[in-house]
A and B are shown apart, each in its own frame.
Chain A
Amino acid sequence: MTELGDFRALVDAYQSAIYRVAYRLTGGREDAEDLVQETLVEAYMAFPRFKPGTRFDQWVYRIMTRNYIDLYRRRRKTETVSLEEMTEIGEPFEVPDSASDPQQVLDRGTWSEPVQVALIRLTPEYRATVVLCDVQGLSYEEASVALRCPVGTVRSRLHRARAQLRESLRPKEGQS
């Protein structure tokens, strides 16, 4: 089998997971597809360095998250987006008033808005951590390799991200 054939076989086995991670990171189909394309081109160029027998999907996630975070930082320099209001220290931020039914307030599993919407409000680093750990089920150790940061950093980012998501998804006090 040719090298491209080997690469295709691996990608085909993890297609849905690769796209899902890209979608959760970007929040939209078009951006997710762009991210997938950029990532796979880069992955193929680096394919000679991939060690057979290791987790191909996690190797791709590493490339994808790096590309995504770099892209976000480049865009932030040229665009003004509301995400700039968010900080990494986890301060609560204002959630737009949604049309949530007050009777659903304390119904666990029913949030004020889709989790994906709240996810996009996180910083790229927090978002990538949540996506890898909570969406793809990577362990802290596996996520630390993909994100190129210590396990402790993965843990703290994940915990803070969940706190922000929880704060964002719960209806404001007074609406219950």
Chain B
Amino acid sequence: MKNRGNCDGYWEMLNDYADGRLHGHASEKAESHLAECKQCREALADIRSIRQGLVCEPVEKPSLDLWEECYQRIGEDGTPRRVSKVAQVWKPAFGVAVASIVAGLALLLAPCGHPQATEIPMCDLVMQHAGFAASQPLSISSHHVLLTARCMEEKVRTDDDSE
């Protein structure tokens, strides 16, 4: 791009020189050109003046309670998002284990053609396989398994009726 008042092609060099990114031969070349070119000296002065202005120009002071308001808001909104290593590893593993158990039970309790097996309600089969006596109170996990078995039993009955 053209920069009016600069030698064509020297703008990049001047910026690099102003930022202290030229070394050795490149720096010497820039200084040699600047010694001979008034336009580039003015351009370099402009770059430095702009930087100085950006640093030194006054900034309107913030409200006195800006930072306390920030911390209050953090207290309301900001809770650090923590991802524990336990959750990262064991949650998926637990999920897989539960799914495997349910799938295994489903396969186990699927109608296998034995009249005796189909006559036995699934719920009782589940209870037998789970080793629970009828009178024994159910834990939450075994209750869930029982509900799954009941749903499957209902489905089997529905399928049989529709055939």
Known contacts: A134-B50, A166-B47. The answer to whether A41 contacts B57 by CB under 8 A is no
B71:A4 contact, CB within 8 angstroms = yes
Give the chain B neighbours of A40 by CB distance below 8 A. Answer: 70, 73-74
Q: Per DSSP, are chain B's interface residues mostly helix, strand or loop, or mixed?
A: helix
A11: Cβ under 8 A from any B Cβ: yes
For B16, list chain A residues within 8 Å (CB).
155
The 7 closest A-B pairs by CB, nearest first: A115-B53, A44-B78, A29-B60, A159-B15, A134-B51, A40-B70, A44-B74
Given contacts A158-B15, A159-B15, A163-B3, contact A135 B78 (CB under 8 A): no
Judged by DSSP, the binding face of A is helix
6 further A-B contacts with Cβ under 8 Å, apart from A42-B78, A116-B57, are: A32-B60, A37-B69, A45-B81, A108-B45, A116-B54, A163-B3
Q: Is B95 an interface residue (CB 8 A)?
A: no
Q: Tell whether, in the assembled complex, residue A33 and residue B15 are in contact, meaning their CB atoms are under 8 Å apart.
A: no
- Residue contact B70 to A159, C-beta cutoff 8 Å: no
Whether A41 pairs with B50 at a CB distance below 8 angstroms is: no
The docked-state distance in angstroms from the alpha carbon of A20 to that of B56 is: 11
Chain B residue nearest in CB terms to A8? B71
Are B49 and A19 closer than 8 Å at their CB atoms?
no
Contact with A along B43-84 (1 / 0, CB 8 A): 101110111111101011111001101110111011111100
Q: A residues 124-176 with Cβ under 8 Å of B?
A: 130-131, 133-135, 140, 155, 158-160, 162-163, 165-167, 169-170
The interface bits of chain B over 24-54 (1 if a CB of A lies within 8 angstroms of the residue's CB, else 0) are: 0000000000000000001101110111111
Given A19-B62, A37-B69, A45-B79, A166 contacting B57 (CB threshold 8 A): no
Report which A residues bind B (CB closer than 8 A).
3-4, 7-8, 11-12, 15, 19-20, 23-24, 28-29, 32-33, 36-37, 40-42, 44-48, 89-91, 108-109, 111, 114-116, 119, 130-131, 133-135, 140, 155, 158-160, 162-163, 165-167, 169-170
CB-defined contacts of A44 to chain B, threshold 8 Å: 74, 78, 80
**B3 contacts A167, CB within 8 Å?**
yes
Kindly report which residue of chain B lies nearest to residue A19, judged by CB atoms. B62
CB distance from B76 to the nearest CB of A (A): 9
Within 8 Å by CB of A24, from B5, B46, B50, B54, lies B54
Q: Is the CB of B49 within 8 A of A163?
A: no
Bound CA–CA A91/B4 (angstroms): 12
Check if B112 is an interface residue, CB within 8 A of chain A: no
Within the complex, the shortest CB–CB distance from A141 to chain B, in Å, comes to 11
Task: Please determine whether B73 and A37 come into contact, CB atoms closer than 8 angstroms.
Answer: yes
Among B5, B52, B73, B80, max chain A CB count under 10 A is at B80
Residue from B43, B61, B77 in contact with A41 in the complex, judged by beta carbons closer than 8 Å: B77
Distance, CA A3 to CA B81, complexed state (A)? 12
- Chain A residues within an 8 Å CB radius of B77: 41, 45
Sample of 27 A–B contacts (CB below 8 Å): A12-B67, A19-B66, A23-B60, A24-B59, A29-B60, A32-B62, A33-B66, A37-B73, A40-B74, A41-B70, A41-B77, A45-B77, A45-B81, A46-B81, A48-B80, A48-B81, A48-B82, A108-B45, A109-B49, A114-B53, A114-B57, A116-B54, A155-B15, A159-B15, A163-B11, A165-B50, A166-B3
